[in-house]
Amino acid sequence: MKKAILFSIVALLCVTALCDEAWSGAGSFDGSELTQASFLLRPTDSLYYSSALADGTPVSLTIGAVDQSDSTKTAAIFSDNSGTAVEGSATWNYTATDLPKNDTYTITETVVSSYETKSLSRSVTILPEPAILALLVIAGALFLRKRVKALVAILALVSAFATGAKADVVSGVAFQQMLPFSRDVAITYTVTPAANTIYDVKFYGSTDNGTTVFDLQDRGELHLSVANLNETFCSAGTHEAVWTPDESFYSTKVDNFKVKVEATAISSASNYLVIDLSGGTGAASYPVSYLSDVPSGGWSDDYKTTKMVMRLIPAGTYIMGSPQGELGRYASDDREAQHKVTLTKPFYAGVFEVTQKQYELVTGSNPSEHQGDARPVERVSYNMLRGTDKGKGWPANNEVDGTSFFGILRAKTGLSFDLPTEAQWEFACRAETTTALNSGKNLTSETTSDANMDEVGRYRYNQNDGKGGYSQHTTVGSYLPNAWGLYDMHGNVYEWCLDWYNVSYGGNAVDPKGASVGTNRDQRGGSWNLNPQNCRSAYRSYNTPISDGSNQGGFRVFLVQ
């Protein structure tokens, strides 16, 4: 089964419809054994090449043509042999003006990378420009999986576009069967969500023009651009999905196939997401539910052991880092240089640090030195949480190993839980404060006991305060939360972030992902054995991905698209 997520394309002459649910127009679906098909090609076109998962692999591209009626007629349509490393995606424009129109050719496209060579040939009919101006643009798409493991080409017409109107959430639904060589159906759709609103997006299909409707997940496998079963976070812009039909569609061939994308808003009052981990390692799935508010009586021990609770954090802009005069600031370098950061997407952040019981229910083990079900898990490395294969790819991608903590949690919830970026962590910690501590207070002491730090977290000088434990961390939620209800953002245990550590932040940024390469990964929040200055909102630390952080290193779960 091909897991590559491909999309080619986009449309002209489309009547846009804004609605909570949107159908595509009717188009054809061919589930029979597929062979190469003839496609229409404009004399002038573009080839879209995506290498977002290829780690900047150097590539060379060539496109050649042979006239099917006269093999002596050949042409080199396009050539780029520079071998330049491509990051993200690139577009090459090419012209077929030296080929006679109204004729059919065998087009061969070849990609040469540092790892291997891939070629695909297809039959193409080239028409004069006037003959197809009324049609939708034909896009050529080459999608390269990591290290060129799989190469698929799509040159096709966009099948259809959405109609109807209700509310301004989903529009522009289109599908395209990924001919040749595949029964897979590529789906594109546009989202215009309300500010800071979370949507559950589902996908439906019909083979009889909408009369009978089925959930695409029930009749095959759905692969989304965010690697979720359901796209709970629905940000503005164009999204992609690929549906792989099950065996029941292998002989189906219809001309009235349609796709529907439906976005259901989770109530704006549903500020909390809860994961039920009580089934442990033997559970096939972990149920996810939502709460509008903190339960009466507060968060019981269940939410620190057999359940995991997360708080919705709005998108926003803030000043990351610390001012020059902040007590405890390291003024010798730029590690806390202030700069403006905009986070364009809302996200969920763990109300508590992940506890030992929660970690054990997911992974079956508890590596912690200082034991306690409701205490934060420690002695966990970055690699233990995300994996040593796919999980080391950030920021090139957000994949994780299936056997890692986040791999298991994703598989059993269908949601792309992960560590936060450094920018997301500090935004969540501050909760709109600008002071050294998220209580709205500054430190009065850098290296000795501090009354303001005593209020918000476990650190070196309050281990005899009666809240449990001495010379170690303590039960999560033992100190005051910030304005967004998050506990222990100061002290207790360090919390891993996704980013590679870089001494200098750089300038203002939108949704920053950190350095592209590095040796150490970021950690935030300080720990139970550190001074007040090392537990401030802006304080930055780091460790190697293989280090378990001794008994001072833990983490918090986030959910961001």
Give pLDDT tens digits for 89-119: 455 556 655 666 667 777 776 767 655 566 6
pLDDT over 60 at 8, yes or no: no
Between helix 356-363 and helix 405-413 the angle, nearest 10°, is 70
Give the separation between CA 476 and CA 352, rounded to whole angstroms.
Answer: 6
Place of tokens 């491509």: 86
The predicted structure's pLDDT at residue 191:
81
* pLDDT for the residue numbered 248: 81
2 phi/psi in degrees, rounded to 5 = -85, 130
Higher pLDDT, 276 or 48: 276
Residue labelled with tokens 């401030």: 536
Cis-peptide into 481, omega within 30 deg: no
What pLDDT score was predicted for residue 465? Answer: 93
Q: Looking at per-residue confidence, does 452 or 225 come out higher? A: 452
Mean pLDDT value across residues 66-83: 75
Please give the pLDDT value at position 268.
55
Would you report the helix, strand and coil content of the chain in percent, each value rounded to 5?
Answer: 10, 35, 55
Q: What is the pLDDT of residue 225?
A: 52
Note the pLDDT of residue 378.
Answer: 97
How does pLDDT run across 322-373, given as a tens digit for each residue? 999 999 998 766 899 999 999 988 899 999 999 999 999 999 999 999 999 9
For 316-333, b/e burial (b = at least 16 CB within 10 A) is eebebbbeeebebbeeee
Lowest mean pLDDT among 21-25, 138-142, 284-288: 138-142
**Does residue 309 register a pLDDT over 70?**
yes
Quote the CA–CA distance of 90 and 428 in Å, as a whole number: 35
215 vs 311, higher pLDDT = 311
At 505-523, the pLDDT tens digits run: 878 999 999 999 999 999 9
* pLDDT range class, residue 72, cuts 50, 70, 90: confident
Residue 5 · residue 225 · CB < 8 Å: yes
Give 435 or 160, the one with higher predicted confidence.
Answer: 435
For the ranges 40-44, 241-245, 248-252, the lowest mean pLDDT is seen at 40-44
More confident residue, 358 or 26: 358
Compute the average pLDDT of residues 471-476: 95
In percent, the amount of the chain with pLDDT more than 90 equals 46
Whether pLDDT at 478 is above 90: yes
For residues 191 and 493, which has the higher predicted lDDT (pLDDT)?
A: 493
Fold of 272-559: paralog of FGE (formylglycine-generating enzyme) (3.90.1580)
Q: Which residue has the higher pLDDT, 427 or 80?
A: 427
**Residue 418 pLDDT > 70:** yes
**3-state secondary structure at position 73:** coil
Give the confidence band of 126 by pLDDT, cuts at 50, 70, 90.
low
Residues in contact with 440: Cβ distance below 8 Å, sequence separation at least 6, in sequence order: 433
Backbone angles phi, psi at 392, to 5 degrees: -95, 10
Mean pLDDT, the chain, rounded, equals: 78
Dihedral (Cα; 420, 317, 196, 488), 10-degree rounding: 40
Could you state, in order of their start, the residue ranges of all structural domains in the chain? 21-265, 272-559
Segment (H or E) for 30: strand 27-30
Q: Which amino acid is at 432?
A: E
**pLDDT at residue 49, as a whole number:** 42
Considering the entire predicted model, what is its pTM?
Answer: 0.62
pLDDT of residue 313: 92
The token pair at 393 is 């790819």
Enter the DSSP assignment of 533: G
Place of tokens 């576009």: 161
At residue 149, the pLDDT reads 32
- Res 168 pLDDT > 50: yes
Which one is predicted more confidently, 293 or 195? Answer: 293
Average pLDDT over residues 435-451: 97
Q: Which residue has the tokens 């207790």?
A: 492
